[in-house]
Every structure is written in C-alpha cells, then in structure tokens.
Structure 1
Amino acid sequence: MTMRAIIALVAGTIFGAGLTVGGMTDPARVRGFLDLFGDWDPTLAFVMGSAVMVMAIAWRIVPGMIRPIFEDGFHIPTNSDLTPRLIGGAVLFGAGWGIAGLCPGPGFAALAIQPAGAAIFVIALLAGMALHWLTERKN
C-alpha cells in the first residue's frame, strides 16, 4: 500500500468518525436541523461551523506553503462560474438531502451503523451517478 493510499484511508476514517460522532449519520438529526419551525436541532449548525473554521485556517496556511506534504502540487479550483447546471445540481442535492436526511459522506459512514437504511440511500446514489455517467459521456 502506498503512502498516498494510507493517508487517504486515515483521512477517510477520521472524516467518517467525525460524521458519526457529530450525529450526521442519523437522518432524523439532519431533518431536525431543516425543521426550522418545529423541533429544531442545531447540531448540524455546529458541525458546519466547525468545518468552516477548519477550512478558514487551511485557506490561510496554503498560500504560504510551497507544496503539500504528500503531493507534488496543490489542486485548487479556478472555475467560479454559476451555471444553470450547477444550480440545478445543488437544488437536486439539497432536495435529496432534505428528503433522505443523508448526503454521500454520512450515507457511506451510516453503512457501518444502520446498514439497511443506508444501503437504500447508497444504492440510489450509485444509480444516480451511473445515470449521470451514461448521459454525460462523450462519444
């Protein structure tokens, strides 16, 4: 196993553990966050706030680095266009997230905790990805 694969495995494990500890693998918790006028659950706001703080620190550190520790260079997106396709995808993602209470990261992490419910979500996710791949392929 290469160092790159080990780093990816460790990072993914930490990410999945964080999602689990933060309660993001529980669809009821996510739907509770979206229920602004009912029994609102602020847990997701704290998880998102923590992620924003970590990224704010990372964006301050990255410009001072010559290169990443385990990579040849940085891969920072340069495209900032808001296209109808991007907006439509965001709306579709948000609607699915609100209905299912899961998004891809927590969905895969939930496979270890709630395999039956999470499996339905992951199968639908993979089917959607396959449909996208089939319809967007360049001939």
Structure 2
Amino acid sequence: MRLIFTYLIGLIFGTGIAISGMANPAKVLNFFDIAGTWDPSLIFVMGGAVVTAFIGYKLVFGRSAPILDTAFHLPTNRVIDAKLLGGSAVFGIGWGIAGFCPGGALPALGTGRWEVFLFTGAVIVGVFLAKFLQSRANRPARVPV
C-alpha cells in the first residue's frame, strides 16, 4: 500500500511539473533573465506550491500519527551551517545554469532529451560524491606512530 501511495504522489508531482512548464529549462532560465525575456510564471508556480504545502502540512500534522507509518520522521538538525549554505549555493547555481532542479528533471526524463539525462546523471554522481566526502570527513583522524 505504501508503495502505491508513493507512486501516486510522484505521479501527481510529475504531472504538476509538466503542466506548469517547469520541465522546460527555457522557462526556468527565462525567469532568471530579468533584463531580457523575463517570464514571471515561476513565481505563480512556486506560490501555488507554497500554499498547497502549507495546507497539506496543517492537515497532516493535525493528526497524531501518519496514515502509513507509526510516527512522523522529521529532521532534527536546525543548524544553519557551511554544509547547508554550500549545498544551497550549489543547488541554486546548478538550477540557474541548467534550468533544472532534481524535482523538475525527473519528469523531464520522459522528453528523451540528452541534456536531461546528463543532468540527472550528474545529480546522481553528486549525491554519491557528497556521501563519500561526508564519510571521509566523519572518520577519526589517524595519529602517526
């Protein structure tokens, strides 16, 4: 049952991305081109997403427990550190250069464009690289003997 709901949620998200045009990198890049072919529609897409998420969070967290699990699994780290800021910067720069974010790229895979596959592959490599670097940073330092 959980897998079916996960699939349905992803399908709804992907459909929303496709209908809003956010699977088209030109639309996203035009949002950033304020002095040229500026397209403000991304503001309305983001605004609609924020309102929908706000209502959804109010409904979901009004319950004592989730429907398909025994407890809510929420992040506990509330620290704004270099890792968070660096990751945000990399995300924003990548979005501005490529016109894709990971959420918008996955539905765009259906277009069959090589750029989307290249971007998605780069995201996957980046995730594994970040995990590798994090595991190296968490290892205790070796003391020379």
Unmatched segments (≥5 aa) in structure 2: 140-145
Q: Which residue of 2 aligns with 1:74?
A: 72
Q: CA deviation at 1:81?
A: 1.1
The alignment's TM-score, normalised by the length of structure 2, stands at 0.87
Amino acid at match of 1:90: S
Q: Which residue of 2 aligns with 1:32?
A: 30
Measure, in 2, the Cα distance between the counterparts of 1:129 and 1:98.
19
Q: CA deviation at 1:58?
A: 2.3
Match of 2:124 among 123, 126, 130: 126
Measure, in 1, the Cα distance between the counterparts of 2:20 and 2:39.
12
Amino acid at match of 2:106: F
Amino acid at match of 2:74: I
Amino acid at match of 1:74: F
Q: CA deviation at 1:110?
A: 0.6
Unmatched segments (≥5 aa) in structure 1: none
Match of 1:55 among 42, 53, 57: 53
**Does 46-55 or 60-69 show the bigger shift?**
60-69
**Does 77-86 or 19-28 show the bigger shift?**
77-86
Measure, in 2, the Cα distance between the counterparts of 1:63 and 1:133.
30
Amino acid at match of 1:9: Y
Q: Which residue of 1 aligns with 2:113?
A: 115
Count of residues in correspondence between the two structures:
137
Q: Which residue of 2 aligns with 1:15?
A: 13
Measure, in 2, the Cα distance between the counterparts of 1:56 and 1:108.
24
The CA RMSD over aligned residues, in Å, is: 1.4
The alignment's TM-score, normalised by the length of structure 1, stands at 0.91
Measure, in 2, the Cα distance between the counterparts of 1:77 and 1:134.
21
Q: CA deviation at 1:62?
A: 3.5
Moved over 6 A (4+): none
Instruction: Report the secondary structure of 1:74's partner residue.
Output: coil
Amino acid at match of 1:57: I
Measure, in 2, the Cα distance between the counterparts of 1:130 and 1:78.
23
Measure, in 2, the Cα distance between the counterparts of 1:49 and 1:23.
15
Q: Find the structure with the greater CA-based Rg.
A: 2
Match of 1:100 among 98, 101, 118: 98
CA 36–114 in structure 1, closer or farther in 2 if over 3 Å, else same: farther
